[in-house]
Amino acid sequence: MMKLHLISLGCARNTVDSEIMQGQLAAAGWSVTEEIAEANVIIVNTCSFIESAINESVDTILELAKFKENGACQKLIVTGCLPERFREDIAGALPEVDVFLGTGAFDQIVQAAALSDEAGVNTGACILPDPNCSQMESQNREPETAHMAYLKIAEGCGRRCTYCIIPKLRGNQRSRSPEAIVSEARGLVESGVKELVLIAQDTTNYGADLSQSIGLGGLLARISDISDDIWIRFLYGHPESLDESVIRTVSERGNICAYFDVPIQHASSSVLKRMGRHYSTEMLLRQYEHIRTILPDAALRTTVIVGFPGETDADFEILSDFVKEVRFDHLGVFTYSDSEDLPSHRLSDHVPKHVAQDRHDQLMSAQLEISAENNQKYLDQSLTVLLEEHSEEKLWIGRTRFQAPEVDGITYVHSEKRLRIGSFADVRITDTLEYDLVGEVEVNSGGVKK
């Protein structure tokens, strides 16, 4: 049996694409190996959203290309956003790669991986069909973990934020049908998945492009009906499309995490206008106040960009004051990443990189204090934790409802008895850190192995 090794870079949406490709290859007879030197085909699913992601993708490709000389690798395939963004020029820049597949060509991975020239894709091919025509269904998908799975509900984006390349890389928003999503969710739950994380580029805008839409609120309710014994959360919302039905659905359903990930990008109205974001500081404050009125214990997460062209000291002060006023449970801060193919590149008054980095550091320092203070409210509380990893003897790692996978803090769980990975456990919090929690599993907790 031929062996493959697949590395997925970038966001959770890329993770789903990688899982679908891996499932297609497994159905075609390929086996997955974690030993890169044993792989006959190596696949890198790339990200090119910002400069650091581009650099990581290129560095990873060059490092893996060495296995064509020192390992079993006969073919190196690069998929996703990097070839989609740089098109045919990528082939000349990376001659080590045998086949490039854009974001609209994931369904051709089996042909690309074939080692026979008669059955496969010619070496040096750069396949870049229109992303708007890409297949979105998740047949033969193989999730990375047995207990948590991302569930992609839409592809692409219909907005035109000036700093964002996603519409070019992924096409316009195309929502999957509720029936297809619920069917996939049910299959994942039946396979043992305990947490479903709904994702899209603009998750709260789900269904706006469908002729008959139940919206994200209706979709959450239908997925919630599948089982009471799971967690459901959504990531990557948008302030303009987060509506009342979503907030009310979360408040009414015990298995939907009261966790609102809504990237705002900035809080200064003048910067937001230059970004192509159509809301104001006042609107954001009202929205967060409304969420907390209905769900006082809701966790709030956002991401912001500092150093955007035209951002003044006064603009940054507005953003800093906003972060301190809202007191987010989780905050991601990015420095603006410029590129000639972005509309924002043509804006005036670009901010020096050292100034942007200083603003980044100031915000993260402020958030560190906020997070540490926020975490103190959980001290001596009993929280449900989804166990994900056995770290060392008597120590496990998991997450609470207000900790999303990969992006937030974690909860360390001490237990004298062995616990089951992928199960829920009741944990008494005994200590709090800046971003993480520490606790002890309670007697008769559901996560204890019998």
- pLDDT tens digits, 235-255: 999 999 999 999 999 999 999
Please tell me whether residue 157 adopts helix, strand or coil conformation: coil
Angle, CA 259 vertex, CA 257 and CA 260 arms, to 5°: 140
What integer is the mean pLDDT of 6-13? 94
Residues 435, 371: Cα–Cα separation, whole Å: 6
pLDDT given at position 1: 76
Say how many residues make up the chain.
450
Exposed / middle / buried, residue 449 (Cβ in 10 Å: 0-12, 13-18, 19+)? exposed
pLDDT at residue 330 tops 90: yes
Binning pLDDT at 50, 70 and 90, where does residue 136 land? low
Binning pLDDT at 50, 70 and 90, where does residue 123 land? confident
- pLDDT tens digits, 64-91: 999 999 889 999 999 999 999 999 999 8
pTM listed for this prediction: 0.94
Contact 114, 81 (CB under 8 A): no
Q: Which helix (H) or strand (E) holds 446?
A: none
Exposed / middle / buried, residue 7 (Cβ in 10 Å: 0-12, 13-18, 19+)? middle
Residues 1, 249: Cα–Cα separation, whole Å: 48
pLDDT at residue 448 tops 60: no
Q: Which helix (H) or strand (E) holds 261?
A: strand 259-261
pLDDT given at position 59: 97
- pLDDT tens digits, 407-432: 999 999 999 999 999 999 999 999 99
Contact 182, 355 (CB under 8 A): no
Q: Please state which of the ranges 27-31, 121-125, 222-226, 411-415 shows the lowest mean pLDDT.
A: 121-125
- pLDDT tens digits, 158-176: 999 999 999 999 999 999 9
pLDDT given at position 450: 37
Please tell me whether residue 395 adopts helix, strand or coil conformation: strand
What integer is the mean pLDDT of 142-146? 79
pLDDT given at position 145: 79
pLDDT given at position 318: 98
**133 vs 380: which has the higher pLDDT:** 380
pLDDT at residue 445 tops 90: no
Exposed / middle / buried, residue 70 (Cβ in 10 Å: 0-12, 13-18, 19+)? exposed
Contact 441, 447 (CB under 8 A): yes
Residues 416, 260: Cα–Cα separation, whole Å: 34
Sign, CA dihedral 290-295-297-301, equals negative
- pLDDT tens digits, 267-277: 999 999 999 99
pLDDT at residue 265 tops 90: yes
pLDDT given at position 443: 75
Residues 286, 67: Cα–Cα separation, whole Å: 54
pLDDT given at position 208: 95
pLDDT at residue 97 tops 80: yes
Residue among 289, 288, 323 nearest 306 (CA): 323
- % of the chain with per-residue pLDDT over 90: 90
Give the other-Cβ count within 10 Å of 161's Cβ: 20
**Joined tokens for residue 164:** 């964002």
- pLDDT tens digits, 215-238: 999 999 999 999 999 999 999 999
**Joined tokens for residue 442:** 């309670």
Contact 401, 230 (CB under 8 A): no
Residues 128, 263: Cα–Cα separation, whole Å: 30
Exposed / middle / buried, residue 30 (Cβ in 10 Å: 0-12, 13-18, 19+)? buried
pLDDT given at position 446: 63
Please tell me whether residue 96 adopts helix, strand or coil conformation: coil
pLDDT given at position 119: 59
Give the other-Cβ count within 10 Å of 395's Cβ: 14
Please tell me whether residue 203 adopts helix, strand or coil conformation: helix
What integer is the mean pLDDT of 320-334? 98
Residues 287, 251: Cα–Cα separation, whole Å: 15
Strands 382-392 and 424-432: antiparallel
Residues 59, 53: Cα–Cα separation, whole Å: 10
Residue indicated by tokens 């031929």: 2
- pLDDT tens digits, 343-378: 999 999 999 999 999 999 999 999 999 999 999 999
Contacts of 174 (CB under 8 A, 6+ apart): 132, 136, 154, 155, 156, 209
- % of the chain with per-residue pLDDT over 70: 96
Q: What is the DSSP string of 99-129?
A: EEE-TT-GGGHHHHH-SSTTTSPPTTEEE--
Exposed / middle / buried, residue 50 (Cβ in 10 Å: 0-12, 13-18, 19+)? buried
**316 vs 140: which has the higher pLDDT:** 316
Q: Which helix (H) or strand (E) holds 42?
A: strand 41-46
**Joined tokens for residue 313:** 């000291």
Phi, psi (deg, nearest 5) at residue 313: -60, -40
- Amino acid making up residue 225: D
Contacts of 437 (CB under 8 A, 6+ apart): 375, 378, 383, 400, 409, 410, 411, 412, 429, 431
**List of domains in the chain:** 3-132 (3.40.50.12160), 148-375 (3.80.30.20), 379-441 (2.40.50.140)
Exposed / middle / buried, residue 191 (Cβ in 10 Å: 0-12, 13-18, 19+)? exposed
What integer is the mean pLDDT of 171-191? 95
How many Cα atoms occupy the beta-carbon half-sphere of 255 within 13 Å? 19
